[in-house]
Amino acid sequence: MTNLEGLVVGSLNKLQGFDTADNVSLETAKKFYQDNYRFCLRYIPNSTYPPGNDLTEEEAKDILLGGLALMVVQHVRGTHWIANGALGQQDGEKAATWCQNQVKLPPKVSVWCDLETMENAKDHALVIDYCREWYHAVYNAGYTPGLYVGAGVKLSSEQLYDLPFQNYWKSVSSVPAVYERGYQMVQNNSPHSANGFQKFGINIDENKTYIDNLLGRSQMLILPEFAEKLAKEHYQ
């Protein structure tokens, strides 16, 4: 199996990017790049999510050729779902196998767990079990597991920190800070809508990268020529 070409690099500080559940064409990726967006997060299914506009190898190639760095996020199970360890393992394994087989994503790239809207959010032990099992399934496949801390998460700052994750992404919702570490990516409040907005024909939420308090960075796939351009524009 041949993986996607590119370099896996730690994100630079304060890069502007977006996440989207819509397919991104080469033409669209180029438009975002020209508008100073530098990365894209695209969605993949969980173990029950019906087939849809999920990231594929061909789309990933278009995103990279358009100049954008790439990361992956798995769809949440919807609203009012029940978190537990067994589901965490199922979803983590689905994320890993989709990235390996459908995207051909190389190792070390950040793959994010979308944690939000659990019916049993106050049952901290079961939510923690879900997160741990998801983490280990993705980590054992060679990727860098990350956690999106979304709406309805009731874990404390310390409980988030104690999870095995070392990469955290803050949603627009009111959620705890991650004790000591902080966040490596923050979803921006849109000036248009709390649920994102449409740009260049697709629905997006904007995000910005950060180096966290422990010097951690999210891990992105990018083509070498665009990695060089990114470094030059960032450090000049």
Beta pairing partners, 10: 219
Per-residue pLDDT of the chain (236 residues; tens, 9 = 90+): 699 999 999 999 999 999 999 999 999 999 999 999 999 999 999 988 766 889 999 999 999 999 999 999 999 988 889 999 999 999 999 999 999 999 999 999 999 999 999 999 899 999 999 999 999 999 999 999 999 999 999 999 999 999 999 999 999 998 999 999 999 999 986 655 456 788 999 999 999 999 999 999 999 999 999 999 999 888 76
For residue 15, the model assigns a pLDDT of: 97
Q: Report in angstroms the alpha-carbon separations of 184 from 14, 92, 227.
A: 10, 21, 19
Token reading at 176 = 């705890």
Q: What is the pLDDT of residues 20-59, one digit of tens each?
A: 999 999 999 999 999 999 999 999 999 887 668 899 999 9
Residue whose structure tokens are 């690099």: 9
Largest CA distance in the chain: 49
Domain ranges for the chain: 7-235
For residue 79, the model assigns a pLDDT of: 83
pTM: predicted TM-score of the whole model, two decimal places: 0.95
Beta pairing partners, 198: 203
> Residue 145: which of 157, 163, 127 has the closest Cα?
163
In this structure, CATH architecture of domain 7-235: Alpha-Beta Barrel (3.20)
